[in-house]
Amino acid sequence: MKKFTLAASLFAGAIVLALPAKAETLRLLTWGGYAPDNVIELFEKETGHKVEVTLSNNEEMIAKLRATGGGGFDLAQPSQDRIAGAQAEFDIYKPIDLSKIDASLFIDSMLESTKANTTLDGAVYGVPHVWGTDGLVLNTAQAGMVKDYIDLCSDAVAGKVSYRLKRPTLIAFAFSMDMDPFAAYGDQAKYEEILSKVEAKLVECKKNVKTYWGGGDEITNLLRSGEVIAAMAWDTGGWKLNAENPDITFVAPSSGALGWVDTFALPKRGRADEAAYAWINFVMRPDIAAMITAAAGNFTASKGGDAGVDEALKARYQASFPPEAIENINWYPPVPAGLETLEGAVLDRVNAAN
């Protein structure tokens, strides 16, 4: 019996030892541009792990993981504000083992704030990867008068405006109307009051809107063709268009751009943690981070990752974000569970209004 136990433990030990060397398949649930082919190729060559990419967005990531109870993927990249609430509600992630992450690769302040924002019951569920902002993408030759989100409702740009019908728009308009929705996150009555004012504004503004955009390519097309001249959109879309047409660019609105951080989070039933940690530590290396910035158009939380970035992109970034505009960025705090139901009802009513 003893002999058997010994043999069994030796055997088990051998398996454990063999594990790190075993090639795993990393099923990555991410955004467009965050896992470019050249990076995947380098990673596969270096570690022997395989990478399968599925492109998605915040809501779909949560919906997909919820449907499988956190299975089907080994690493997901939701925004930091959408982790704690989703975890409390649906239990779809597992805590991150911070000892397996090379903290020296991260910009300290970003790592700390993301850890704080994604902590639930003492466990950390996310570390930062890519960050960027929501703001205004304008054709400055025709819509130069738009300075803030609320100017999208002015007659000068009637019929040539686009934004998403999603929660960032509600938040943006609230800030633009001199209210602070983030401060009201904890106070439901106050938040509802803010939402009702924003709802009235968005209903009034609807006649100005050409269409509500859904995906990044859609809004890029609308701006490129000139069918839309002022939009609320991601900074990277504005910079991409700026390279083609110098009139179009990203402008940080006067009430402040909305800052988001996309993270790494481990789905609860992921099977390739080893590969997931390897991927995180790999893509946070400054040289790889620069490659991702080149593909996604957004900067990363990698320390020194901006050094290798193309000068033209840096110039666009600096033109859109003078130092005071960076100070002015409103970073999304974690969304409390249940808040989205209120926002959903508002968005539905705006959608139905004439």
Q: Among all chains, which residue has been given the structure tokens 């975890």?
A: 87
Q: Using CB under 8 A, pick the residue from 210, 268, 269, 271 that binds other proteins.
A: 210
Q: How many CB atoms lie within 10 A of CB 97?
A: 11
Report the Cα–Cα distance between both ends of the chain, in Å, rounded.
Answer: 79
Minimum distance of other proteins from residue 61's CB (angstroms): 10
Beta partners for residue 230, in sequence order: 138, 161
By CB under 8 A, residue 215 contacts other proteins: no
What phi, psi does 206 have (nearest 5°)? -60, -35
Beta carbon nearer to other proteins, 233 or 309: 233
Beta carbon nearer to other proteins, 39 or 202: 202
Q: Among all chains, which residue has been given the structure tokens 């504004």?
A: 201
And the tokens for 193? 């009051």
Q: What secondary structure does DSSP assign to 297-311, as a single string? A: SSEESBTTTTTTS-H
Would the CA dihedral through 241, 59, 70, 101 be positive or negative?
Answer: positive
One character per residue 246-285, x = contact with other proteins (rule: CB under 8 A): ----------------------------------------
Beta partners for residue 334, in sequence order: none
By CB under 8 A, residue 227 contacts other proteins: yes
Beta carbon nearer to other proteins, 60 or 97: 60
CA–CA separation, 284 and 302 (whole Å): 5
| Amino acid at residue number 165 | L
By CB under 8 A, residue 63 contacts other proteins: yes
Minimum distance of other proteins from residue 161's CB (angstroms): 10
Q: Using CB under 8 A, pick the residue from 32, 90, 306, 331 that binds other proteins.
A: 90
Q: Using CB under 8 A, pick the residue from 41, 89, 102, 112 that binds other proteins.
A: 89
Query: By the 8 A CB rule, do 333 and 185 touch?
Result: yes
Q: Which of residues 157-176 bind other proteins (CB under 8 A)?
A: 165-166
By CB under 8 A, residue 340 contacts other proteins: yes
Q: Which of residues 186-205 bind other proteins (CB under 8 A)?
A: none
Minimum distance of other proteins from residue 50's CB (angstroms): 28
Q: HSE, CB side, 13 Å, CA atoms: give it for residue 194.
A: 27
Minimum distance of other proteins from residue 233's CB (angstroms): 16
Q: Which residues are CB-neighbours of 17 under 8 A, at least 6 positions away? A: none
Q: Which of the stretches 62-70, 170-178, 270-278, 316-324 binds other proteins when contact is defined by CB under 8 A?
A: 62-70
| Helices and strands in the chain, H and E counts | 15, 14
Minimum distance of other proteins from residue 89's CB (angstroms): 6
By CB under 8 A, residue 331 contacts other proteins: no
Beta carbon nearer to other proteins, 143 or 251: 143
Beta carbon nearer to other proteins, 44 or 340: 340
Enter the DSSP assignment of 2.
Answer: H
By CB under 8 A, residue 69 contacts other proteins: no
The H-or-E segment that residue 242 falls in is helix 235-244
CA–CA separation, 122 and 51 (whole Å): 31
By CB under 8 A, residue 121 contacts other proteins: no
Instruction: Give contact residues for other proteins (rule: CB under 8 A).
Output: 59-60, 62-63, 66, 86, 88-91, 165-166, 206, 209-212, 225-227, 337-338, 340-341, 344-345, 347-349, 351-352, 354
